[in-house]
Amino acid sequence: MSKELRINSNKFIDQTTRLSFKFNGEKLYGYKGDTLASALLANNIHLVGRSFKYHRPRGIMTCGSEEPNAIVQIGNDPSLTDPNVRATEIELYEGLEAFSQNCWPNVKFDIGGINNLLSPLLPAGFYYKTFMWPASFWEKYEFFIRHSAGLGKSPTKPDPDIYDHKYYHCDVLVVGGGISGIMAAKLSAENNNETLLLDDKNILGGATIYQNNDCFQIDSTHTNYWLEKEIKNIKNIKNLTIKTRTSLAAYHGYNYLLAKENLTDHLSPDERKGKIRQRLWKIRAKKVIIATGSIERPLIFNNNDRPGIMLSSAIKKFIDFYGVKAGKEITLFTNNDSAYETAISLKKSGVNIVSIIDIRDKSSSKIVKEVEKHNIKIYWKHTIVNTEGYRRISFIEIMQLSDDGSGVIGKKIKLKTDCLGISGGWTPMVHLFTQSGGKLKFRSDDNVFFTRQE
């Protein structure tokens, strides 16, 4: 593991417990508390897979359940292998084996990459016309179609693991263990309601738990320290049940919900033997509070899918929570202030920030002024028009926006970078609310859908 990509002091990662794992047959090392994604980045690995149709290189883009690219196969045991698992959600354990999907013979040299060169001849829906004639050729077509369809490989033998289910009734169910969910659960339990708090991560706190910044304080205390005390206090409330590593999957009528709890997926194969792997929770709640937070939006520009292009919030979590540098020469591209919080975290950790490209004319917020004190180059009223690099981003091209914002002017500026963080604002996670039949309302000020009550 490259020491240059891992910072030493981090309370969320146990750097006294070193874990070995394999990715595409190569033996690598991480620490207890890592995810597969953070361990790969610590080993300077961005290229994780290939896109489904054109087999373009794909890398880690996010740090959570919204990950669209870093989808891998776990294990090679025909009875236990798991396909299509997000690397950002796999907790690292001793002996973990993971493989890239949708590539042959390997992820670095993929024969299917020829599809990218032929992309002008393979528009969307071309197969509906191409494979209709002549009818006698269908058996030949079918052979290749079936071999190219799908991503991972499903198990071929019976699953030997143990699973169970449990019924649970409560007054209030709180979904999401961030700052809002924690405070909602605390207030509910203190009012003598039987309360259940669920979160899909291994610890509570959401993004606030690692938000160590002078610009964000509660009661004159950094938000992360304030929240740590609140989490410690709620664990002593008798009528509050807390379940981590638990994802809520379905919201049915009359507040009947299903959740999956991972009990042993974070343990080594030897530690799992004889233990229940997963539990299905069948929950009936009088009231449900959804506090699932928001997802950072990407920005659109030419070739914005290269490995090394990540959400700004993901870069921040990798450095603040996992102690991993997503790159050595990082550039940030934004239309809001969130990326500046990432810039401060990177600067504190000794990561070189090439520049910040901001679509806006200017911002005089407190956090932007804090970044300007570090003499970080900011290209106001600029946008990215293209990127270079194949297996990983190497250069970006930027241009100035015209006064009315309808186009670009001036000459292209080329900047060298090995990691690009993008931030296009935030979208509330309203999935469960809409699944329950809730209605949404659009807010044009920040272009988001949010929940509304009839």
Structure tokens at 351: 């990561």
Q: Where, residue-wise, is CATH 3.50.50.60 in the chain?
A: 162-294, 297-423
Angle at CA 277, nearest 5°, toward 273 and 281?
Answer: 155
Whole-number pLDDT of residue 9: 64
Contacts of residue 446, defined as CB under 8 A and 6 or more positions apart, other chains included, come to 425, 426
- End-to-end CA distance of the chain: give it in Å, rounded: 54
3-148: CATH topology is Ubiquitin-like (UB roll) (3.10.20)
pTM of the predicted structure, to 2 decimals: 0.92
pLDDT in tens, 278-324: 999 999 999 999 999 999 999 999 999 999 999 999 999 999 999 99
Contacts of residue 388, defined as CB under 8 A and 6 or more positions apart, other chains included, come to 303, 394, 395, 396, 397
Q: What is the residue-level pLDDT of the chain in tens, covering all 454 positions? A: 555 688 876 789 999 999 999 999 999 999 999 999 999 999 999 999 999 888 899 999 999 999 999 999 999 999 999 999 999 999 999 999 999 998 889 999 888 777 777 666 667 766 666 777 777 877 777 777 776 777 888 999 999 999 999 999 999 999 999 999 999 999 999 999 999 999 999 999 999 999 988 889 999 999 999 999 999 999 999 999 999 999 999 999 999 999 999 999 999 999 999 999 999 999 999 999 999 999 999 999 999 999 999 999 999 999 999 999 999 999 999 999 999 999 999 999 999 999 999 999 999 899 999 999 999 999 999 999 999 998 999 999 999 999 888 899 999 999 999 999 999 999 999 999 999 988 999 988 888 888 865 5
Q: How many CB atoms lie within 10 A of CB 15?
A: 16
Q: How many CB atoms lie within 10 A of CB 325?
A: 24
Q: How many CB atoms lie within 10 A of CB 418?
A: 19
Angle at CA 348, nearest 5°, toward 210 and 29?
Answer: 70
Contacts of residue 206, defined as CB under 8 A and 6 or more positions apart, other chains included, come to 176, 177, 178, 179, 181, 199, 293
Q: How far apart are CA 99 and CA 366, in angstroms?
A: 44
Q: What 3-state DSSP class applies to 404?
A: coil
Structure tokens at 370: 């804090």
Q: CB pairs under 8 A, 24+ apart, for 365-373?
A: 365/337, 365/340, 366/215, 367/213, 367/215, 367/337, 367/340, 367/341, 368/337, 368/340, 370/214, 370/215, 370/340, 370/344, 371/340, 371/343, 371/344, 371/347
> 297-423 domain in CATH 3.50.50.60?
yes
**162-294: CATH number:** 3.50.50.60
Q: How far apart are CA 196 and CA 240, in angstroms?
A: 6
CB 335 within 8 A of CB 382: no
Helices in 118-268 by DSSP H: which ranges?
126-130, 138-148, 179-190, 223-234
Contacts of residue 377, defined as CB under 8 A and 6 or more positions apart, other chains included, come to 354, 355, 356
Angle at CA 88, nearest 5°, toward 345 and 306?
Answer: 75
H-run or E-run covering 199: none
Q: What 3-state DSSP class applies to 5?
A: helix
Q: How far apart are CA 383 and CA 335, in angstroms?
A: 10
Strands 419-423 and 329-334: parallel
Using alpha carbons, list the distances in angstroms from residue 326 to 132, 299, 323, 353, 386.
46, 19, 10, 12, 20
The string of DSSP codes covering 122-150 is: S-TTHHHHHTTSSGGGHHHHHHHHHHHS-
The Cα diameter of the chain in Å comes to 76
Q: How far apart are CA 319 and CA 316, in angstroms?
A: 5
Whole-number pLDDT of residue 448: 85
